[in-house]
Amino acid sequence: MASYDQVIIGGGLSGLAAGIRLARFGYKVLILEKHAIAGGLNSYYYRQGRLLETGLHAMTNYAPPVSKSAPLNRLFRQLKLSRKKFLTHQQLRSTIYFPDGHALSFSNDLELLRGEVARLFPGSINRFNSLVELIDRYDPFVNRPWRSAKDRLHELLDNERLLNMLLWPLMMYGNCNEHDMDFDQFVIMFQAVFLEGFFRPAGNIKDFLDLLLGHYRALGGEIRFRAPVKHFAIVDKQVNTVVLESGEEIAAGQVISTVGYPATLQFMASESGPAETAGYRGRMSFIEIINILPSEYRKKIRSDETIIFYNLDEPFDYCCPDEAVNVNCGVICFPDNFHDLAPGAEFQLRVTHPANYQVWKSYAPEEYATMKKLWADRSAGKVGEIIGNYREKVLYQDVFTPTTIEKFTGKANGAIYGSPIKLKEGTTPLANLFVAGTDQGYLGIVGAMLSGVTMVNKHIFKEN
Amino acid sequence: MTRDEIKDVILEIIQDIDEDGEVENLNADEPLRDQLDLDSMDFLDIVMELRKRYQLQIPEGDYPELASLASCVNYLEPRLKDV
Ligand SMILES: Cc1cc2nc3c(=O)[nH]c(=O)nc-3n(C[C@H](O)[C@H](O)[C@H](O)COP(=O)(O)OP(=O)(O)OC[C@H]3O[C@@H](n4cnc5c(N)ncnc54)[C@H](O)[C@@H]3O)c2cc1C
């Protein structure tokens, strides 16, 4: 039987980062990935000769290479990757768009947002400045119990509209809870988005994944694709072997699971019955519509920003919609709109809306295809009201739904941000099993990678 | 290993962790952390690198012994004398 110091389940960003960290210090490590390629939620596929990215709108936590203590640069040092050779493109400018013409723009320079708040909410600017100071000094990584960000922001800002406008992008890019958000998670996301900011790596997500994979392999790490894990053989409250769908068994000293806690509980369940996963199944899922448009159409629509986070619902509520999709709110992303990107013959417009997994799951195959078309059309109608009509100009369109996400990443209910309960410590009932990635608690691309690194440092390096 | 050799190893490890860390002018008695702008995650890498190279296990309680270059050498000298 093959035997490893550590087996990592999942070759997404958290699994790759954990693997690099272990391989770097000479551990014998194996990543098991269900799919034929790496990346998980942040991966890519080909349609009509085009490479389409599944996750990346923007990476958060921008920092120039000189800021040594910034999370992005610490991450690169931990992975022994050169930050200087990693080329980035910063966002142009993004906007939070609410009813009554309320709009706040922000960029990677906090002063833009500060000026916008002063302009739109003159009575609240002092309170906003105090909030920024508080967040600047605040360490969100101390393990505190869940606290309502809304309640805290009511106290701090005393302005319902402003607090909702600030919450909206942070929720869309990193909140597993409906209606409200953990205050610590709010701070993590505020730092990542408003204080640090958005960027894209040069090239595409495949280049980034290839960089990580190449580095991992060069350090001696092994990865197996098309190797879905089925369950664990457990002896004395420890994972003894990891059993694949194929029946093959692999012995592991320690196991790190990045597939989410519901799926991890299934691996731990005895033959006799399914695991109790209800409390860990998140409800926030999304639909994503990728539109390819001809370059000359750029000037015909509002397309000079990087991302528009819009909400037209009153009252504002971040939640799973009752219908298949809520097109009244969403994210409009222009992945070509980052500094110093050469314009191509086409440009992309990606739109994300909250979506209901149960509704999508209930459709029969033909109905599913029809509903994808229908909702993409409704989306274009609504988004067109904000940026101008583009519906007839779409050269190519692809749609993925909560069920696509569940199918390709194993995330229960297609819940991108995973369980509403986070396992911040990363420990499980089994002494040698740890969780990293989405259900440990750090979200997004940089977050997932930091989670992989942190869990290895904490549970493997410091213990051994 | 001699004290000088141990010192060189530590400097080499630091250089390896931090692509633009300036190790030439380090004051041996001052905390490395203050001079190099490194954090606890980086310090763990020194421990891990020593483990990888010399199979040396440094318990977490001993990490403070690695605070300055001089204290590193003092701590490692008996532990690396046969290397
Ligand atoms: C549409 C969309 C847009 C996004 N946009 C952004 C963005 O702009 N910026 C940002 O920072 N983040 C974004 N994200 C979020 C980001 O992609 C995730 O937070 C991050 O990639 C999560 O990484 P992970 O390693 O925790 O999980 P995953 O990526 O889910 O990795 C888990 C891996 O485990 C594998 N797996 C599952 N089951 C098994 C099994 N039984 N055996 C073996 N392997 C298995 C899966 O195939 C997968 O590769 C977006 C996500 C989506 C879906």
- Per-residue pLDDT reduced to its tens digit, A325-345: 999 999 999 999 999 998 888
Q: What b/e readout covers A229-250, taking b as 16+ CB neighbours within 10 angstroms? A: bebbebeeebbebbbbeeeeeb
Q: How far is the CA of A131 from the centre of ligand 1 (A)?
A: 31
Question: Which pLDDT value is given to residue A10?
Answer: 97
Do A323 and A363 meet the contact criterion of CB atoms below 8 Å apart? no
Q: Of A21, A32, A42, A62, which is best to mutate to test ligand 1, by the most ligand atoms within 8 angstroms of its C-beta?
A: A42
CB-ligand 1 contact for A65 (6 Å cutoff): no
Per CB-CB distance under 8 Å, the chain B contacts of A78 are 41, 45
At A166-186, the pLDDT tens digits run 999 999 999 999 999 999 999
Q: B25: helix, coil or strand?
A: coil
CB-ligand 1 contact for A10 (6 Å cutoff): yes
Tell me the pairing of strands A94-97 and A307-311. Answer: parallel
Question: Which pLDDT value is given to residue B76?
Answer: 95
Residue A438 CA, closest ligand 1 atom number: 26
Q: Which helix (H) or strand (E) holds A19?
A: helix A13-24
Residue nearest to atom 33 of ligand 1 (CA): A10
* Residue of A24, A68, A457 to mutate, testing the B interface (most B Cβ within 10 Å of its Cβ): A68
Question: Which pLDDT value is given to residue A62?
Answer: 97
Displacement of CA A345 from its chain's centroid (Å): 29
C-alpha dihedral sign at B48, A425, A196, A206: positive
Contacts within 8 Å (CB) and 24+ apart, A232-236: A232/A267, A232/A268, A232/A430, A232/A433, A234/A268, A234/A430
**Do residue B19 and residue A83 have CB atoms under 8 angstroms apart?**
yes
Residue A273 has pLDDT above 70, yes or no: no
pLDDT level of residue A157 (50, 70, 90 thresholds): very high
Q: Does A85 touch chain B (CB under 8 A)?
A: no
Q: How far is the CA of A12 from the centre of ligand 1 (A)?
A: 6
Q: How far is the CA of A39 from the centre of ligand 1 (A)?
A: 7
Residue of A nearest to B16 (CA): A80
Question: Which pLDDT value is given to residue A276?
Answer: 80
**Do residue B52 and residue A25 have CB atoms under 8 angstroms apart?**
yes
Query: What does the longest C-alpha to C-alpha distance in chain A come to?
Result: 68
Q: Does A64 touch chain B (CB under 8 A)?
A: no
Q: Of A259, A306, A403, which is best to mutate to test ligand 1, by the most ligand atoms within 8 angstroms of its C-beta?
A: A259
d(CA A176, CA A182): 9
Q: Of A41, A259, A337, which is best to mutate to test ligand 1, by the most ligand atoms within 8 angstroms of its C-beta?
A: A41
Superfamily of domain B3-79: ACP-like (1.10.1200.10)
Q: Where are chain A's structural domains?
A: 2-59+204-280+418-460, 110-196, 283-409
What percentage of chain A carries pLDDT values higher than 70? Answer: 99
Residue A464 has pLDDT above 60, yes or no: no
pLDDT level of residue A322 (50, 70, 90 thresholds): very high
At A211-260, the pLDDT tens digits run 999 999 999 999 999 999 999 999 999 999 999 999 999 999 999 999 99
Q: What is the ipTM of this complex?
A: 0.90
Residue B13 has pLDDT above 80, yes or no: yes
Residue A382 has pLDDT above 60, yes or no: yes
C-alpha dihedral sign at A341, A342, A343, A346: negative
pLDDT level of residue A272 (50, 70, 90 thresholds): low
DSSP state of A369: H
Question: Which pLDDT value is given to residue A408?
Answer: 86
Task: Look over chain A and give the mean of its residue pLDDT values, rounded to a whole number.
Answer: 94
Q: How far is the CA of A137 from the centre of ligand 1 (A)?
A: 30
Tell me the pairing of strands A29-32 and A2-9. Answer: parallel
Do A198 and A108 meet the contact criterion of CB atoms below 8 Å apart? yes
Q: Does A68 touch chain B (CB under 8 A)?
A: yes
Q: Which of B78, B66, B62 minimizes the C-alpha distance to B1?
A: B78
Per CB-CB distance under 8 Å, the chain B contacts of A74 are 39, 41-42
DSSP state of A412: G
d(CA A195, CA A104): 15
Task: Give the one of B18, B48, B51 whose C-beta lies nearest to A77's C-beta.
Answer: B18
CA angle A237, A242, A248 (to 5 degrees): 145
Tell me the pairing of strands A307-311 and A2-9. Answer: unpaired
Q: Stretch A108-115: mean pLDDT, rounded?
A: 98
pLDDT level of residue A271 (50, 70, 90 thresholds): low
CB-ligand 1 contact for A415 (6 Å cutoff): no
At A406-446, the pLDDT tens digits run 988 888 899 999 888 889 899 999 999 999 998 998 888 99
Q: Stretch A372-394: mean pLDDT, rounded?
A: 96
CB-ligand 1 contact for A416 (6 Å cutoff): yes
Specify the pTM.
Answer: 0.94
Q: Which of A323, A305, A304 minimizes the C-alpha distance to A313?
A: A323
Higher pLDDT, B82 or A155: A155
Question: Which pLDDT value is given to residue B21?
Answer: 77
Domain covering A2-59+204-280+418-460: architecture: 3-Layer(bba) Sandwich (3.50)
Residue A270 has pLDDT above 90, yes or no: no
> Which residues, other chains included, contact A126 with Cβ-Cβ below 8 Å and sequence gap of 6+?
none
Higher pLDDT, A381 or A68: A381
Q: How far is the CA of A261 from the centre of ligand 1 (A)?
A: 13
Q: How far is the CA of A130 from the centre of ligand 1 (A)?
A: 35
What percentage of chain B carries pLDDT values higher than 90? Answer: 63
Per CB-CB distance under 8 Å, the chain A contacts of B45 are 77-78
Task: Give the one of A77, A83, A462 whose C-beta lies nearest to B17's C-beta.
Answer: A77
